[in-house]
Each structure stands twice: as structure tokens, then as C-alpha cells.
Amino acid sequence: MKRDFLSLLDWSTEELWELLELAAHLKREARAGVRQDHLLRGKTLAMIFQKPSLRTRVSFEVGMRQLGGHALYLGPEDIKLGQRETVEDVALNLSRYVDGIMARVFGHEVVEELARFATVPVINGLSDLLHPCQALADVLTIWEKKRRLEGLTLAFIGDGNNVANSLIEASAKFGIRFRIACPETHEPNARIVAEARALGAEVEILRDPKEAAKDADVIYTDVWTSMGQEAEAEVRRRKFQGYTVDLSLISQAKPDALVMHCLPAHYGEEITYEAARSKNSVIFDQAENRLHAQKALLVRLLGGRA
């Protein structure tokens, strides 16, 4: 039976821990120079992009190459998903050619529809609702640095966007306390918050960044304006004044708190350059771990490894 990766809530905590452990193992092997090109030899991943990308495209493409497979890039103009051809037909066609599909899209319903009709695994590389691959890399990074996840406090400063939503799901799965400081009308998705709380997660929605950051183990931020919201950029800059992660805000957290950002960063807006380069920052460790976490996911889904 084929398996998809659209949301962290679709996988059990045990399965997610297996992914993290496999990712850590693959990372150690790669750094030791151990060849891994037998793991997905002969496999092909179709990568559908409605949005531009640096980390998603490079990490999946390099990951497939390191594992011995091939990644096929399909940009916005290549297939015009849902315009030139229905999502159903794209899913059915690609299923005859490739071993897996990764999609970076606008509407979450697009990746859900791909998964519904595809007969090969579908990975949500990002949607407007969720970014589970980022969250998987993030918890891998936190686990590496803190050697635990349960009981930690993660303070998210800024917009309750797709990254925040997936981190809430991660918090529910791994026992992390989640706080978000955001302006009114910029809260994370209410359904996702309710689902996480129903699973026993502690999710606090606050307005004051200092209150959220107090004694936190992780301070996380992301851009105030996501792709597709460019027309709102100036309004958002005004609304998010006071929500910048700087050295003063970091000082409210624990001395060894991690500073995280999924990138790209707009320095001087959601984070200062000094904060991003501070001793607490692990933002480039996060970026690297996209590669290792996704390699584990690809081996699990395309290679059948449990």
C-alpha cells in the first residue's frame, strides 16, 4: 500500500521518530563518505513547482542523486497544474512514469488531490497550509542540539503561516510546548490548533513577543509576507512592527536557546542580521537538515524501508 507525506498528523509519533533516526544515520554516513547510491538506484522523483525555491529544489534533487536516483524538475510553466491539465490527469500520468511525486504548491487541496489520484507516494514540499518537510528538518535540528524534544518550549514570533502550522503539528507529535506571538488576524489555522490540542499539545496564542520568548528553548521566526501575499507586504510590515527577533528578544529566552528561521530571511524585518549570526543561531543547520530529513523520507517512501 502506497504512503504519502502531506501532514505530520498523518504519521504516528513512532513512525516520525523512525524517520528522525534514519535521517541522523544517513547524515552520519554521508559525512563519513559512505556511498548511499544503492538505496534508490533506478528510482525517479517528479518535482512539481508552482512556487520558486532554493532549499526545496536543491535538497530534493541532491538527495535523490546521493541516493542513486534521479529528480525531474517540473516548473510552473511546464505543466500549468490545474490549468492546462487537471490535477487528476497529471497525477495519473506521472504515476505511469515515476516512483514518487513531490509538489510545492499554493492551495493545499492541490497536493491532497495529487495524493488522491496518484498511485505512487506524494510528498507535500510546501502548501499554503502546511510545510511538513521543513518541520521534520526542524525537529531533527532541535533533537541534535538538545538531545530531547519532549518538554521543550518553542516560541514562534510572527505570522501564523504554513511553517507555524506544521510546527504545531510537530509539537503535538513530540510533546513540545508551542507558543506563538502574532498580531490579531494572523493566528495559525484554527483547525490545526484544535487538532493539536485534542492530541494533548500545549498551544498558546499570545500578542507579546517577550512573553512568548520568556525562558523558551527555541525562538523561531519566518517572513512576514509569504509567496502569494506580496500585495500585502507594506501593510504587514506596519502590522508586525515589534515582532522582530533581535538580540534583546533572544535575551528573554534561556541562555542556550536556539534561534531558528526556515529562510529566506528578510534581515531587519522578522529577524536582524545580528540575531541570525549570533551564537544561538542554527538557521544553516536547519537548512542542511532539509537534505538529510528528506533523504530519510525518500528512502522510506520510495525504497520501502520501514
Strand-pair category, 70-74 with 100-104: unpaired
Q: In order along the chain (306 residues), what is the average pLDDT of each group of 10 residues? A: 95 98 98 97 97 94 98 89 87 98 97 98 98 98 98 98 98 98 97 97 98 98 82 86 98 98 96 98 98 98 74
Domain regions of the chain by residue span: 8-131+290-302, 133-286
Residue 222 known to be catalytic: yes
Active-site residue identified among 4, 128, 159, 222: 222
**What does the pLDDT read at residue 304?**
64
Question: Could you tell me which residues are beta bridge partners of residue 221?
Answer: 157, 261
**What does the pLDDT read at residue 306?**
39
For 134, residues 6+ apart whose C-beta sits below 8 A from its C-beta are: 126, 163, 166, 262, 290
Phi first, then psi: give them for residue 26, nearest 5 degrees: -65, -35
Domains 8-131+290-302 and 133-286 belong to one CATH topology? yes
Helix locations, the chain, DSSP H:
13-31, 55-66, 76-79, 87-97, 108-117, 132-146, 162-174, 190-198, 209-213, 233-239, 247-250, 273-276, 283-302
Rounded Cα distance between 306 and 298, Å, is 11
**What does the pLDDT read at residue 227?**
67
**What does the pLDDT read at residue 256?**
98
Between the alpha carbon of residue 238 and those of residues 155, 208, 212, 232, the distances in Å are 22, 16, 20, 10
**What does the pLDDT read at residue 232?**
79
Length of the chain: 306
Q: Is the dihedral of CA 130, 197, 9, 306 positive or negative?
A: positive
Phi first, then psi: give them for residue 6, nearest 5 degrees: -105, -30
For 65, residues 6+ apart whose C-beta sits below 8 A from its C-beta are: 71
Whether 240 and 158 have beta carbons less than 8 Å apart is answered as: yes
Whether 283 and 218 have beta carbons less than 8 Å apart is answered as: no
Residue 147 known to be catalytic: no
Report the CATH fold assignment for 133-286.
Rossmann fold (3.40.50)
Residue 134 known to be catalytic: yes
For 148, residues 6+ apart whose C-beta sits below 8 A from its C-beta are: none
Whether 167 and 174 have beta carbons less than 8 Å apart is answered as: no
Q: For residue 126, count CB atoms less than 10 angstroms from its CB and return exposed for 0-12, middle for 13-18, buried for 19 or more.
A: buried
**Structure-block grid coordinates of residue 68:** 542513486
**What does the pLDDT read at residue 207?**
98
Residue 262 known to be catalytic: yes
Q: What is the pTM of this model?
A: 0.96
Active-site residue identified among 108, 131, 236, 261: 131
Residue 237 known to be catalytic: no
Peptide bond into 264 cis (omega under 30): yes
Active-site residue identified among 128, 182, 217, 262: 262
Report the CATH fold assignment for 8-131+290-302.
Rossmann fold (3.40.50)
Phi first, then psi: give them for residue 222, nearest 5 degrees: -150, 170
Q: Which helix (H) or strand (E) holds 258?
A: strand 258-261
DSSP output for 80-125? -BTTTB-HHHHHHHHHHH-SEEEEE-SSHHHHHHHHHH-SS-EEEE
Active-site residue identified among 104, 108, 186, 261: 104
**What does the pLDDT read at residue 262?**
97
- Of the candidates 58, 54, 48, the one whose C-alpha atom is nearest the C-alpha of residue 110 is 48
Residue 138 known to be catalytic: no
**What does the pLDDT read at residue 77?**
83
- Of the candidates 84, 54, 61, 124, the one whose C-alpha atom is nearest the C-alpha of residue 301 is 124
Active-site residue identified among 66, 134, 286, 294: 134
Active-site residue identified among 290, 292, 294, 300: 290
